[in-house]
Amino acid sequence: MLKIDDIRDLIRLLDESSLTELRIETEDMKLCLKKALTAPVTPPAAAAAAVAPPPAAAASFLPSPEAAAAPAADPAPPAGPAGPAPVQEANIHTITSPMVGTFYRAPSPDAPPYVDVGSRVTEKTVVCIVEAMKLMNEIEAECRGEIIEVLAENGQLVEYGQPLFRVRLG
């Protein structure tokens, strides 16, 4: 009869091999090990989830007749929806948009931007404006640190939750 160490070995062997299943039957014992089909099968959930991350991919789960017919003729779609916020690195904070609207980096077209890469911010520093329904919503940093990346473009439609700035805390 197989011992626990034998089984451990078998698991490791199967794991490292390209095999997907192992069955042993003896007079006094049956053992069956199975492995998920590594890559070939994308489970639907993963496929669906995979839809979100890359911007503009949200409409790609099912091809639209138009898209299939004229893949290149699409008239400049606006920025795709924001994927789920990227994994937070330690010490880095991402400022996201609290509403859907137009993103403006400055209070007026000819004014300098509120912040830029390298700017120091505190909780109350206004970092941008998101315009919704003709209302200019000043967005505050809500953290203390240094802007290390601007993630949205001036005048762009930003979604709820879309990352706008990355800030190194401190």
Partner 1 sequence: MFNRILVANRGEIAVRIIRACRELGIETVAVYSEADRDALHVQLADEAYCIGPTPSKQSYLHIPSIITVAALTGVDAIHPGYGFLAENSDFADVCEACGITFIGPSPRAIETMGDKSAARAAMRRAGVPTVPGSDGLVADANEAERIAEEIGYPVLIKATAGGGGKGIRVVHDRASLRQAFATAQHEAETAFGNPGVYIEKYIERMRHVEIQILADRHGNVIHLGERDCSVQRRLQKLVEEAPCPVLSEETRRRMGEAAVAAARAVDYVGAGTVEFIYSLDGSFYFMEMNTRIQVEHPVTEWVTGVDLVREQILAAAGYPLSIRQEDVVLRGHAIECRINAEDPDRNFMPCPGQITEYLPPGGIGVRVDSAAYPGYVVPPYYDSMIAKLIVWAPDRQQAIQRMLRALGEFRIEGVKTTIPFHMKLMQNERFQRGEVTTRFLEEHPL
Interacting residue ranges for partner 1, rule: CB under 8 A: 39-49, 51-52, 58-69, 77-78, 80-82, 84, 99-102, 132-133, 135, 157, 159-162
- Nearest-CA neighbor of 84 among 76, 73, 98, 96? 96
Angstrom distance (rounded) from CA 38 to CA 42: 9
Q: Specify the length of the chain in residues.
A: 170
The answer to whether 93 touches 169, Cβ cutoff 8 Å, is yes
- Nearest-CA neighbor of 165 among 100, 93, 111? 93
- Residue 62 near its own copies by CB under 8 A: no
Which residue, 2 or 46, has its beta carbon nearer to partner 1? Answer: 46
Min dist CB 73 to partner 1, Å, is: 12
Residues 6+ apart with CB under 8 A from 106: 112, 113, 114, 129, 154
Which residue, 91 or 154, has its beta carbon nearer to partner 1? Answer: 154
Report the residue from 68, 69, 87, 133 that binds its own copies according to the rule CB under 8 A: 87
Which residue, 43 or 155, has its beta carbon nearer to its own copies? Answer: 43
Helix (H) or strand (E) segment spanning residue 45: helix 44-51
Residue span 17-56 as binding mask against its own copies, x where in contact by CB under 8 A, dash where not:
xxxxxxxxxxxxxxxxxxxxxxxxxxxxxx--x-------
DSSP structure class, residue 67: H
For residue 145, the partner it binds in partner 1, its own copies, none, with Cβ less than 5 to 8 A by kind, is: none
How many residues belong to the site for its own copies (CB under 8 A)? 46
Chain residues binding its own copies by CB under 8 A are 1-2, 4, 6-15, 17-46, 49, 87, 89
